[in-house]
Structure 1
Amino acid sequence: MANNLPDLCLQNIFKHLNYDKALYPCTLVNKQWSYSSIPVLWSNPFIYVFEGRKPLNSLKPLIDTYLSFLPQNQQEELEIKPKFNQNSIMFNYPVYIRHIFFYFIYEGVKYWCNHCNVSNIIIKERKNQICKALIESFFIKSSKIDTFEIFESDDDYFNISDIFGSISNIQKIQKIRTLIIAKCSDISILLNLTLNVKSLKLFTLYNFDLVNSLRQFVQSQKNLTDITFSFPPKLFPTYWEIFHSSKTATSTVTFIEFIHIQFPKNISLIYHLALFTNLQYLKFRACDFGYIPNIKEDQLIQEINSNYPLAFKKLNTIIIIEDSYLNLEILKILLQFSGEELLSLELFEVKINKFNYIIKWLEVFCPNLRRLVIVDKTNDKLEIVGIHDFFRKFNNLSYVIINGEKHFAT
């Protein structure tokens, strides 16, 4: 049956497979599966090593493979003796890369240089040259790059504009993942050229000179749907304001994630989130709500209903992970506003003091809930009292997960 599936269908299936346990074995099944799985396997090979916690020595054959595809004159200029003959390699691996993660590529090249008997005197210059050559090769050979990451480097680095072919490829990027950025020249080029961004992730931008560039960038994005933030308290309000004050972002963004945010006292989080009229997915990971002052619930609800009648009307998923203390006031307001639209509530590794309150709010406000997961390992006595009556309050809820245990409706 699987042999009858078109290659494109197989590739779409393979994108959802785990790299170690399922994807790699697919390359060994038969010729069709091999040809369909290799492009997926090689779309982002560096991340499999770094985020998959693979041994660093697996980087060397990876870099060796890519270096074998450099033009002969470039190999000679960089004093590289290719390990493989291009003509003997079955696949043109650089064609398949879709994710340009500077950090992973840079660290991979650094490891390769450190294990190729390169003199410490020239290793710094050489790794920059090789890194530049590889990224240039990726830009030239791959037409499907859709994810891009810039990071701050302590070493001498190079500008994106120095890489042949980068400008035209940057303009095609669909997703951008921006990590620690310190090179204003690099990020300015990226912000000025990238107009098709759908997903933007910002992690600890210490350079306030980027604020105006980022503001213009956000205003220019007509397809921005996903944003992720991770900032220290002093920086967060400045960068967060760029988004909640943007008419463009507040009308297009559907997904917001906060990571390791310690929300400051002067932040009006609920008001700001209410501005995002298409918000569907809201996620907090390891955030601290403790600094948000007590909320005047009735006044807040009245003001939001009056000023932002569309607030949270499309919010269908709320996820809170690794929160030291769950702010019940904020959760109640979100449940109340999302109401019938809410389909999924997941609370992982959170400290829950008033579990029964949450259950009651769900019964009152969220009749269409389909997924409920609550995990608090500090409290092994979490229990839904009258669980059968609880299930009757919902139209589509077939089971709930409480501290890892499934409870079914029947």
Structure 2
Amino acid sequence: MRIVTEIKRKSKIFRNSLRISGSKDKRSISNYIPNLITIQDIPIDCLERIFSHITNIPEENSNDILNYNIKISTLFNCARVNKLWSALVIPKLWRRPFHFVLSDEQNCTLISTLILFLSEQDKNVLIDQQLKLFETKNINDRIIKFNYPQLIKLFDYDNFIKSVHRWVVRYPNTCTEFEKSRLVTQLLGKVLFKGNDLNGFKTFNYFRAKIYDNFGFISLYKLIPQNSFGCFNNLTQLEYRNPHKVNKSNLEEFLDFFNIIILNCSDLKSISLDVRKEDKDDYLEIDYSISKLLSNQNRLENLSISYCSPMIYNSIFRHIHYLNYLHIKGINDMSCLLKLISSCKVLKTLELEQSWDMSDDDYKFHYSDLTKNFSLSHTTKLQIDHLYFNFNDQRSEILLICLLEMTNFNLKTLTTKLITFNIMRIISTFCTNISSLNISHNFSHIDFTSLLNILPIFPLRQLYLEISYSNSREYMDAEIYKLASSLPYTLENLYLKCHITPDYLDILLNRSRPNIKSLWLYNVSDYYMDYLKILYHYSLVPNNRLKDVRFNWNRSLNNRRNRRSSSVTSCDDEEFKKTVSKHLKDARQSILKEKRKEKKESFDNNKKNPFIISEAKNHIFSYHDKVFERKLSDYKDH
């Protein structure tokens, strides 16, 4: 609502500036624009950009559902301004209605609105099941101004099932039979898929969850009438995730889904497949289906896959001229993997991840294997800018070394859970252009010292260090001066998930060369008032650029010394921000008491809010979600 009010206010100011002025001012803009401009006169393309900006507002909150509700509420208020705004906003509100499983009342409104599009016969079927269709009286008689099913462009299959289930068993109905949930899902599914038969979905997320096994599986064949799959013809992004391993009982479930996609999708740009098998050599029908799905696409740019057999590798080779992002979980043929990576012409982001079961990974690899397929790694130059290596098994060291040698000076981002002396030697020799270094590893004291020795080599803008509390406590105090002197002067964002006391934080900030803009502290081991005092002192240093400070407040603060407020673990983000801001104010006042009166007045005017404090979100060692924009619902209270 604040955004709408601000738009109206600025529009009024703009109109006042265009009022017809007196004849004395011959250069008045009114001579050129005789008509008054109102908020209704804002060009449609400008309005569309405004509403798109609201939809894509950066998240300021760690609660994804809260962020989503704020955006939806803002757009809804915009839709109430006038008919034009409504016509522009409603399609954005309905672009992805099942992004999250909403609260009871919101979910009831969503499902009840979709029920309006059922035929009278289908409505009577639900009434016969003693289901309360509409919470509000006369809703069935209202005029429908939009064809809402046709507005859906991003469809989340699993969240759709959960939303219907909540409508049946929680609010407004309180049924206990899963058969009724299945019935409503099938009837609404037919409406949604048939409604998008012409324009089609753009993104289809097909997630299964173990918690709903007793709900039963609903095949797409049962949701789509007369097997009319036109809704998939324009699909550009597909995500498929099934936590169950393929076996005899569910093999048909997998094959049916892949057959539908194979027959109807040929222009997918992004595919994410998470399929598991009991044994990699079993059920080769799955390998064949995945291989055919990949081969059928015209121009595949982003691929995430949980398993690659030789058959699947061969299909991926068809897209080596287009792949921009490649994510492979598990290794079963390292030579084939390296051959694929070296053949990709425009690959910018590579992500390799350990398999679910570490025993499934095959680390049998020798450098001689490379010579059979392509030139030695020293002469092979990859175009990869960002490398995510989510292995912590020492046996994967040779793979990472080989990749680092091939990426050479092109590499800008390295995110890894494995770091050894040999790896540090390679990156300090071949990859000296790294600007973002993210490491999670239980360093020994010797290895940590080796890391500090090479840090000044890189033009780092971001550094993330995650070291176990016990390990970092052993040597961090002894190495804090060296860490401070090792930080490159280019560093802007520093993320520390390790043991560090307030005193040593003071040393780190004041002895380091860079002017840090953003500082994230995950393991605040003492009462954070002490940290705030240090940070405020640092903010008084001339020319410092610290603007963003974040703490990880997920764990209980009850046992921290000198607590002045009650536990905040149950508070929402806004309440916690107020609490921390109050402590920052107390820290500031405590410091100012030590200053002379004239200095205090100066500081009061200039340093009331030196930096913003918020929550430090968990660092994600993956680029997958950024590519696929995946955010699953948190549906614990089913």
TM-score (norm 2): 0.52
Residue 66 of structure 1 corresponds to which residue in structure 2? 114
**Aligned mate of 1:255, from 319, 322, 325:** 325
Q: CA deviation at 1:317?
A: 1.0
Show the counterpart of 2:177: 120
User: Post-superposition shift, 1:325?
Assistant: 5.3
Corresponding position of 1:143: 199
Aligned pairs (5 A) from 1:99-118: 99-115=154-170, 116-118=173-175
Distance (Å, rounded) in 2 between the aligned partners of 1:144 and 1:16: 23
In the aligned structure 1, how far is the partner of 2:88 from the partner of 2:379? Answer: 44
Aligned match for 1:172, one of 218, 234, 246: 234
Q: 1:45 to 1:340 in 2, by over 3 A?
A: same
Partner residue of 2:264 out of 181, 193, 206: 193
**Deviation readout 1:115-137 (Å, 9 max, x if unpaired):** 42557385266235324334335
Instruction: Provide, for residues 6-26 of structure 1, a one-character-per-residue CA deviation record: whole Å limited to 9, x for no partner.
Output: 233234434533452352353
Equivalent residue in structure 2 for 1:219, among 292, 295, 313: 295
**Which residue of 1 is the match for residue 186 of structure 2?**
129
1:276 pairs with 2:344: yes
For residues 343 and 204 of structure 1, the distance between their equivalents in structure 2, rounded to whole angstroms, comes to: 31
Evaluate the alpha carbon distance shift between residue 246 and residue 120 of structure 1 in structure 2; reply closer, same or farther with a 3 A threshold.
Answer: closer
| Alpha-carbon distance change, 101 to 382 in structure 1, aligned in 2, over 3 angstroms | same
Out of 153, 167, 178, the position equivalent to 1:98 is 153
Displacement of 1:151 in angstroms is 5.9
- Work out which of the two has the higher radius of gyration on C-alpha atoms and give 1 or 2: 2
Conserved 8 A contact 2:237-2:270: yes
Q: Distance in 1 between matches of 2:380 and 2:142?
A: 59
Asked if the contact 1:27/1:34 (under 8 Å) is kept, the reply is no
CA contact 1:275–1:308 (8 Å) conserved in 2: no
Question: How far does residue 284 in structure 1 lie from its aligned partner after superposition?
Answer: 2.9
Residue identity over aligned pairs, in percent, reads: 15
CA deviation profile, 1:90-141 (whole Å, cap 9, x unmatched):
765434322223322223223323342557385266235324334335425x
C-alpha contact 1:264 1:292 (8 A) present in aligned 2: yes
Partner residue of 2:430? 365
What per-residue deviation string (whole Å, max 9, x for no partner) do you get for residues 294-318 of structure 1?
A: 6434x35555543999966221111
Instruction: Mark the CA change 1:408 to 1:286 in structure 2 (over 3 Å): closer, same or farther.
Output: farther
Contact 1:75 1:82 in 2 (8 A): no
SS at match of 1:143: coil
Q: Distance in 2 between matches of 1:251 and 1:309?
A: 22
Distance 1:342 1:86 in 2: 61
The question of 1:328 aligning with 2:397 is answered yes
**2:457 aligns with one of 359, 371, 390:** 390
Name the CA distance, whole Å, in 1 between partners of 2:183 and 2:232.
Answer: 25
Match of 2:75 in 1: 27
The amino acid that maps onto 1:364 is: T
Structure 2: distance between partners of 1:65 and 1:9: 27
What are the superposed Cα offsets for residues 308-348 of structure 1, whole Å, 9 maximum, x if unpaired?
9996622111113474658221111111111122121122x
1:368/1:289 CA distance change after superposition, 3 Å: farther
Asked whether the equivalents of residues 10 and 36 of structure 1 are also in contact (C-alpha less than 8 Å), the reply is no
Structure 1 residues 100 and 336: alpha-carbon distance in aligned structure 2, compared to 1, 3 A threshold? same
**Structure 1 position 203, deviation (Å):** 1.8
Give the length in aligned residue pairs: 388
Change (3 A) 1:374 1:125: closer
CA–CA distance in 1 between the matches of 2:389 and 2:288?
31
Task: Measure the CA separation in 2 of the matches of 1:61 and 1:156.
Answer: 24
Q: In the aligned structure 2, how far is the partner of 1:121 from the partner of 1:25?
A: 32
Letter in 2 for 1:402: L
Structure-2 separation of matches of 1:177 and 1:312: 31
Taking a change above 3 Å as real, the CA distance of residues 62 and 161 of structure 1, as seen in their structure-2 partners, is: closer
Alignment pair present for 1:42 and 2:113: no
Shift of 1:192: 1.5
- 2:296 aligned partner, one-letter code: S
| 1:315 and 2:363 correspond | no
Q: 2:98, 2:160 within 8 Å by CA — same for their partners in 1?
A: yes
- Contact 1:277 1:311 survives alignment (8 Å): no
In structure 1, distance between residues paired with 2:379 and 2:73: 48
- More deviation in 243-252 or 274-283? 243-252
Q: Work out the CA distance in 2 between the residues paired with 1:136 and 1:279.
A: 35
| Contact 1:229–1:258 (8 Å) recurs in 2 | yes
Paired with 1:324 and 1:56, the residues of 2 have a C-alpha distance of 45
* Correspondences of 1:347-366 after superposition (within 5 Å): 347=416, 350-352=417-419, 354=420, 356-366=421-431
Give the secondary-structure state (helix, strand or coil) at the position aligned to 2:295: helix
Shift of 1:242: 1.6
2:441: which partner in 1? 376
Alignment of 1:336-355 (within 5 A): 336-347=405-416, 350-352=417-419, 354=420
1:202-213 counterparts in 2 under 5 A?
202-204=273-275, 206=277, 208-213=284-289
RMSD of Structure 2 on Structure 1 (CA) = 4.1
TM norm structure 1:
0.76
Q: Give the C-alpha shift of residue 166 in structure 1.
A: 4.3
The change in CA–CA distance for 1:137 and 1:75 in structure 2 (over 3 A counts) is farther
Instruction: Evaluate the alpha carbon distance shift between residue 66 and residue 281 of structure 1 in structure 2; reply closer, same or farther with a 3 A threshold.
Output: same
Deviation of 1:174 (Å): 0.9
Flag the 1:117–1:48 CA change in 2: closer, same or farther, 3 A.
Answer: closer
Q: Summarize deviations over 1:137-187 as a string: whole Å, max 9, x none.
A: 5425x8361112446774464516843694222111111222337433443
Helix, strand or coil for the counterpart of 1:228? Answer: strand
The 1-side partners of 2:370 and 2:290 are apart by 32
Compute the displacement of 1:227 (Å). 1.4
Q: 1:125 to 1:34 in 2, by over 3 A?
A: closer
Superposed displacement of residue 197, structure 1: 0.6
Q: Given residue 365 of structure 1, which amino acid in structure 2 is its aligned partner?
A: F
SS at match of 2:452: coil
Contact 1:151 1:178 in 2 (8 A): yes
Deviating more after overlay: 83-92 vs 328-337: 83-92
